[in-house]
Amino acid sequence: MQYRIFGKLGWRVSEIGFGAWAIGGDMWGAQDDCESVRALQRALDLGVNFIDTAQGYGKGHSEELIGQVLRERKEEIYVATKIPPVPGTQWPPPDNQKATQSFPGKYIIEQCEGSLKRLRRDYIDVYQFHTWATAFNAEDEWFEAICRLKQEGKIRASGVSVPDTAPDDVIGSLAKGRIDAVQVIYNIFEQYPNWNLFPVSARLETALIIRVPFDEGALTGKFKNDTVFPAGDIRQCYFRGKNLPAVIKRVEKIKNYKNIKYPEMSMPEFALRFCLSNPAVTTVIPGIRSVQQSELNSAVSDGKLLPEEIIKDMEQFQWRKDFWHEEVDL
């Protein structure tokens, strides 16, 4: 396992982390808790030391499982979790939404206590807002709550998981030095963050946590036109209508390119190496729910990056979701 420095904080975090949404068991189909625990233990055995979860994953169940596993481990493990906006408020919020509506200070502090209890820890390494709006950058109450939690030793760093189509909304708070880490979608399809957010983050030494490296599984190349997602799986909505065949068609083009350049490399490996090959990236958190996924994803962290010419070629495949072709039903 290779490690990278986590922004200004100086932590050495594994460049492959453990994305813990699926082990929450509520939005990715049925999930066995015993298998979740085995998957997490195996990932840690292989050198993974960064885990990303959220209060909303299984209504706290993902946090609870992580807390159960961490009690058995002695090595230093960094845990990032997320606070959802106040129930009933819009998610993602409109640009002009007040932070005091989505994340009032008292609520931020109360929700942190819940995460600490479920994780069975005295502190959270990275406490992230699970969404963001541009107007939040001009307000102070949320920041005062974060500072209080830091002063009390309950969190070590602040973070934002930016909305899918608005990754730049947080830049105002980065400029003020209020955010230590940004979590963002970045993959072969979604390269937009590299144009604006990444250069700013690199300049300000803000850690970058990369989510959805496989585009909800599409970039693994395993989906077929007749693929059916299980009941309760969020991908039923994501790949609804004409989305699935359109995505499969585009993935085939990437696969054909890869087979010429790297015939021995699997699509999941290629997709992860694409993300890791960007020097601005701190850690990539593929969703993991089995021992096999822990092993396959961790194996990609061997220091072998894709050359610049390959990364440049990948620009032809970028496909921002808000710019999808008319054949796609979004």
Instruction: State how far the Cα of 105 lies from the Cα of 100, in Å rounded to an integer.
Output: 7
Amino acid 326: pLDDT: 37
pLDDT value of residue 128: 98
Q: What is the pTM of this model?
A: 0.95
Q: State pLDDT tens for residues 244-303.
A: 999 999 999 999 999 999 999 999 999 999 999 999 999 999 999 999 999 999 999 999
> Measured over all CA atoms, what is the biggest interatomic distance in the chain, rounded to whole angstroms?
56
3-state SS assignment for residue 274: helix
In this structure, how many other beta carbons lie within 10 angstroms of the beta carbon of residue 322?
Answer: 9
Confidence band for 325, pLDDT divided at 50, 70 and 90: very low
pLDDT grade for 209, boundaries at 50, 70 and 90 = very high
When pLDDT is cut at 50, 70 and 90, the band that residue 321 belongs to is low
Query: What superfamily does domain 3-220+267-315 belong to in CATH?
Result: NADP-dependent oxidoreductase domain (3.20.20.100)
pLDDT of residue 320: 60
pLDDT the model gives residue 231:
84
Which of 217, 187, 231, 239 has the alpha carbon at shortest distance from 287?
217
Cβ neighbours for 5, distance < 8 A, ≥ 6 positions apart: 11, 12, 13, 282
Contact between 57 and 20 under an 8 Å Cβ cutoff? The reply is: yes
Residue 119, pLDDT above cutoff 60: yes
Cα–Cα–Cα angle for 76, 132, 143, nearest 5°?
Answer: 65
Q: List the Cα angle 229/132/198 in 5-degree steps.
A: 90
Q: What pLDDT does residue 165 have?
A: 87
What mean pLDDT is predicted for residues 101-121? Answer: 98
pLDDT bin (cut points 50, 70, 90) of residue 30 is confident
* Amino acid present at 21: W
Q: Where along the chain do its domains lie?
A: 3-220+267-315
* pLDDT interval class at 186 (50, 70, 90): very high
User: Is the pLDDT score of 329 beyond 90?
Assistant: no
What is the phi/psi pair of residue 30, to 5°? -60, 145
Amino acid 32 reads D
Q: Count each helix (H run) and each strand (E run) in the chain, helices first.
A: 12, 10
Give residue-wise pLDDT tens across range 64-89: 999 999 999 999 999 999 999 999 99
What are the backbone angles phi and psi of residue 222, rounded to the nearest 5°?
-90, -10
Dump the DSSP string for 18-43: EE-SGGGSSSSS---HHHHHHHHHHH
Q: What average pLDDT does the structure give for the chain? A: 95
Region of residue 318 (phi > 0: left; psi between -120 and 50: alpha; otherwise: beta): beta
